[in-house]
Structure 1
Amino acid sequence: MSSTTEHSASSSRPTIAIIGAGAGGLAFAIALKQKLGYENFVIYEKASDVGGTWRDNTYPGCTSDVSTAFYSLSTDLHDWNGSHTSQEELQNYWRKLTKKYGLLPHISFNHHVVSVDWNAASNLYHLVLKNTISGDRRSTTAHIVVSAIGILEVPRFANIPGVKTFQGEMFHSARWNKSVDLKGKRVAVIGNGASATQFVPIISEDPSVQITQFCRTPNWYVAPTRFEYSNRRRWLLRNIPFLMRLQRWSIFMRLELVYFFIFKAKFFRPMIKKVSKTYIHRTAPKKYHEELIPDYPVGCKRILIDTHYLAALHRPNLVLNWEGIESIAETGIITKKGDEIPFDVLIFATGYAADSYPIPVRGTMQTIQEYYEAEKGPKAYLGTTIPGFPNFFTIFGPNTATGHTSVIYTNEVQVNYIIQLIQPILARKVSSVEVKTGPTDKYNDKIHARLSQSVFTQCLSWYRVGGEGKITNIFPGAATTFWLWLRKPNWDHYTGVGMEGWRSLVKRKQRLRQITLILMVSLCEYLRRSPHKLVGVSRMLSNFHIRF
């Protein structure tokens, strides 16, 4: 295995390394070019294409569960086919933006980030990269590192004894194996979350595929809301000014109401529960009614928009199994009741390892994962910066996901916040920016105080460490709150090399703006009371070559 070295930080302008060419990484790169006109950055992508989650998740029926008009960048509205778009169309959307903004020359495809280490003497990060095709390694440096891998990066296989002994085909739904033909096969689907409820109705359409779905916890469902746009509607959206923008705003406001009715106002939950329960009873086979109704409140786990999954349960080739899995044998699954069921294919639909950080990023004292473990779970300030990691920023970090709105929106909010944080570094006013421990602890105390009183504490879910521990993958507020909290940095919460001078400069500018505002208000009030003085003021200003 050969190794090459790249000294990108020798450039006269600070270099930025972005990890991941998914939605977050591309959104940040676009903002660098559009807002700052900045070009000295590289996106390191382990795969051979952009798109992240929408590149990797190719299982049958994969679609967004947020209305696509709001599941896209605010800067790049799109003529979508329908209310909720397929994986393929979403992937093409990000490919088009990559070309539109000239990002391809900035992307280093097929390069996995092996490690990242901070050097305090040089105020640089040292990155080790591995070519995923050749296996060759090389190193490079960067002044700023932005992690855009999110929390849905590493598929989690259920920790079941004997899983490695299975002799048939086995894969995770997040890495769908298209070479496996399911026709005529006995298939076990392990898991009944969002992904499973999308692909199970598709693969069960073939009556020769005999499916047993192993379920652990039921979900609350709402009726399908997906529909194709008519040609007329699409024409109107394309041709009437601001109509696309108005549609986006209406979806945003609707989702904010969802937050209020489900997560904020407790007294609405029983009504929503009744509606969901009625829908499940009306749609699913009677024999499953008891198992399909959750014993936890609406909103504790992700509410699923039905994709005709409940109706598919009437098919004779689809069976639900609630017995639990004891172990996996060479030829199949042994349930907790002791029954051995033979299978040809195992499909894991068991989510992601969302409570750890997969890349060994070392800051001033420890790695991110070591910091997470010391804090009993992922922790960050505003989900974006971590104490002890100067010039390191995360998009879709701890406690930034929501149970009701678009992750693309929260990504954009974080991108705008990070852009403000890195501007003094890019301007060479400071060498490093690092959040302080005190504000980080105070912020996390605040959000966890809210979370402790929330519905999220009342069930097992992927929002929590290990399913039942600290809640680290949900933001305890509305999308509007998230925007307000990240609208502008509080520079008193940050330290770093050169930060004292920067804080003084910011405060001087703030005072100057305040003085200017006071003078303008005073002048307006003076002229209101003495309008005859307006001519005199105009003459005075004209002496300073100001057009009044």
Structure 2
Amino acid sequence: MYQQGSDTSNEFREVIRKEMNKRIGPENEELKDFIIPNWSPGCRRISPGDGYLEALVQPNVQPVFSGIKKVVADGIVTEDGVLHEMDVLVCATGFKVAFRPAFKVVNGDGTTLDDDWGKGPNLYLGLSAPRFPNFYTIVGPGATWSNGPLLPSIETSVEYAVKMMRKIQKEHIKSLDVKQEALDDIYAHFDEFHKTTVWQEECRSWFKDGKIKNRIYLWPGSTVHFLKTIKEPRFEDYNIRYRYKNRFAFLGNGEVKANTVKGDYKGLSTYVQNSDHEWSIE
């Protein structure tokens, strides 16, 4: 559906157009021109919900198509100079996906995440930011926001962060921060992939950081494709700094956990197997 000009996309677009016309009903042409999209389904997050269009054409509802100029004591003045009197003003303008945490994030050089990102997000696989070691996010920019179910992506992102933490603990690592060159490469792939998707059409979307034309911060593939990609961390994409001068200091005294537990014979022989399966030693 998200491939621009595909049969599925075109058919879905026609279905949506007909359904919106049906729900708005005859006449109301100005409303139809204003609210029925001229881009493919999915360019923006698909909405509205049931009952929304029907509500706009009720006799006690007056859609206003001009932007708001200012709020005054008696109501709202729109850009066309008309005063719309009202008793109650309900602000329901949606939400802003700023791609940045609500709290300040500062790296060891004293640079904030806001300053480092400058004009746009700079996040590897929706998970990790260059120059911000040991900092992980859950389905950030570049993850699967519109490609399928989000919950599996959240769960696998958490598992990814836990795997990074375990490596830090076990190998006496001081910090892990993703290389900028790795992020540059994945973003280059993003840009190439999205040349043929509906998201690159001229719609303003938070998939594009609230802009009409911008990099598309959506995973270039399906949710399952994303899960497969982040299931195991690519440590070659990270700068690794160790706590000690020798990176193998974590080898310690040459013992394993089973050596310290009396009678733990199984722990000493996990490599013995009757079938081909994964094994590990604590």
Higher fraction of strand: 1
| d(CA) in 1 for partners of 2:224, 2:162 | 19
CA change 1:398–1:356 in 2 (3 A) is: closer
Which one-letter code corresponds to 1:470 in the other structure? N
Shift of 1:263: 3.9
**Per the alignment, do residues 399 and 350 of structure 1 end up closer, same or farther by CA in structure 2, a change over 3 Å counting?**
farther
Report which of the two has the higher share of helix. Answer: 1
Does 2:244 align with 1:491?
A: no
Counterpart Cα distance in 2 of 1:352 and 1:306: 16
1:399/1:325 Cα in 2 relative to 1: closer, same or farther (>3 Å)? same
How far did residue 353 of structure 1 move? 2.9
Alignment of 1:490-509 (within 5 A): 490-498=234-242, 501=247
Render the CA deviation track for 1:187-211: whole Å, top value 9, x for unaligned: xxxxxxxxxxxxxxxxxxxxxxxxx
Which residue in 2 is equivalent to 1:13? none
- Change in Cα spacing, 1:425 to 1:323, as seen in structure 2 (3 Å) is same
The 1:347/1:263 distance shift into structure 2, 3 A limit, reads: farther
Please report how far the alpha carbon of residue 547 of structure 1 lies from its aligned counterpart in structure 2 after TM superposition.
7.7
Tell me the CA shift for residue 356 of structure 1. 4.5
Cα distance in 2 for residues equivalent to 1:294 and 1:472: 19
Structure 1 residues 157-209: Cα deviation after superposition (integer angstroms, max 9, x where no partner) = xxxxxxxxxxxxxxxxxxxxxxxxxxxxxxxxxxxxxxxxxxxxxxxxxxxxx
Matched, 1:270 2:10: yes
1:371 matched to 2:116: yes
Q: For residues 46 and 82 of structure 2, what CA distance do their matches in structure 1 show?
A: 32
Of residues 361, 384, 403 in structure 1, which corresponds to 2:146? 403
Secondary structure, aligned partner of 1:447: helix
- Tell me the secondary structure at the aligned position of residue 281 of structure 1: helix
- Cα distance 1:495–1:285, how it changes in 2: closer, same or farther (>3 A)? same
Q: Give the structure-1-normalised TM-score.
A: 0.42
Contact 1:285 1:313 in 2 (8 A): no
Whole-angstrom distance in 2 between the partners of 1:547 and 1:369: 54
Q: Is the 8 A contact 2:3 2:197 kept in 1?
A: yes
Tell me the alpha carbon deviations over residues 77-96 of structure 1, each in whole angstroms, 9 at most, x when there is no partner: xxxxxxxxxxxxxxxxxxxx
Pick from 51, 56, 59 the counterpart of residue 313 of structure 1.
56
Is 1:329 aligned to residue 72 of structure 2?
yes
| 1:377 and 1:470 in contact (8 A); partners too | no
Establish whether residue 479 from structure 1 lines up as the match of residue 226 from structure 2. no
Correspondence 1:338 to 2:78: no
Q: 2:188 aligns with which of 445, 456, 462?
A: 445
C-alpha change, 1:351 and 1:472, in structure 2 (3 Å) is farther
Matches within 5 A, 1:90-239: none
Where 1:394 maps in the other structure, the secondary structure is coil
Distance 1:282 1:335 in 2: 29
| Separation in structure 1 between the aligned mates of residue 79 and residue 274 of structure 2, nearest angstrom | 84
Contact 1:355 1:378 in 2 (8 A): no
Matched position secondary structure for 1:481: helix
> Which whole-Å CA distance do the structure 2 matches of 1:481 and 1:370 have between them?
32
Q: Give the Cα–Cα distance (whole angstroms) in 2 for the partners of residues 349 and 409 of structure 1.
A: 30
Q: CA deviation at 1:306?
A: 2.8
- 1:402-421 paired onto structure 2 within 5 Å: 402-421=145-164
Contact 1:413 1:486 in 2 (8 A): yes
Alpha-carbon distance in structure 2 between the residues aligned to 1:414 and 1:264: 29
Partner of 2:256: none
Following superposition, the deviation at residue 337 of structure 1 comes to 1.7
User: SS state of the match for residue 70, structure 2?
Assistant: strand
Alpha-carbon distance, 1:455 to partner: 1.5
Deviation, structure 1 residue 344: 2.4
Aligned-residue CA RMSD in angstroms?
A: 2.7
Q: Percent identity?
A: 25
Query: 1:497 is aligned with what amino acid?
Result: R
CA distance in 2, matches of 1:462, 1:264: 19
Q: Contact (CA 8 Å) 1:300, 1:457: kept in 2 or not?
A: yes
Q: Does the aligned pair in 2 maintain the 1:355–1:377 contact within 8 Å?
A: no
Q: Secondary structure at the match of 1:273?
A: helix
**Equivalent-residue separation in structure 2 for 1:317 and 1:344 (angstroms):** 15
**Aligned 8 A contact 1:430 1:496 in 2:** yes
Structure 2: tracts of 5 or more residues without a match: 252-271, 276-282
Residues 386-427 of structure 1: CA deviation (Å, up to 9, x unaligned):
111111111121122422422222111211211211111232
- Give 1:326's aligned amino acid: K
* From 106, 110, 119, the counterpart of 1:362: 106
Alignment partners' CA distance in 1, 2:18 and 2:273: 70
Contact 1:324–1:336 (Cα < 8 Å) also in 2: yes
How much has 1:314 moved relative to structure 2?
3.6
- Is the aligned partner of 1:283 residue 2:26? no
Q: 1:490 to 1:482 in 2, by over 3 A?
A: same
SS at 1:496 equivalent: strand
- Residue matched to 1:247: none
> 1:390–1:496: 8 Å Cα contact kept in structure 2?
no
| Partner SS state of residue 495, structure 1 | strand
Distance 1:319 1:280 in 2: 18
| Residue 434 (structure 1) aligned to one of 177, 191, 194 | 177
Are 1:298 and 2:41 an aligned pair? yes
Tell me, in whole angstroms, the C-alpha distance in 1 between the residues paired with 2:176 and 2:214: 28
Query: SS of the residue aligned with 1:362?
Result: coil
- 1:424 match: secondary structure: helix
Q: Secondary structure at the match of 2:43?
A: coil
Write the letter of the residue equivalent to 1:370.
D
> Aligned with 2:136: secondary structure?
strand
Q: Could you tell me which amino acid in structure 1 is paired with residue 62 of structure 2? A: V
Task: Check conservation: 1:299, 1:456, Cα contact below 8 A.
Answer: yes
Taking structure 2 as the reference length, the TM-score comes to 0.77
Distance in 2 (alpha carbons) for counterparts of 1:315 and 1:282: 14
d(CA) in 1 for partners of 2:80, 2:95 = 28
Distance 1:401 1:343, change over 3 A: farther
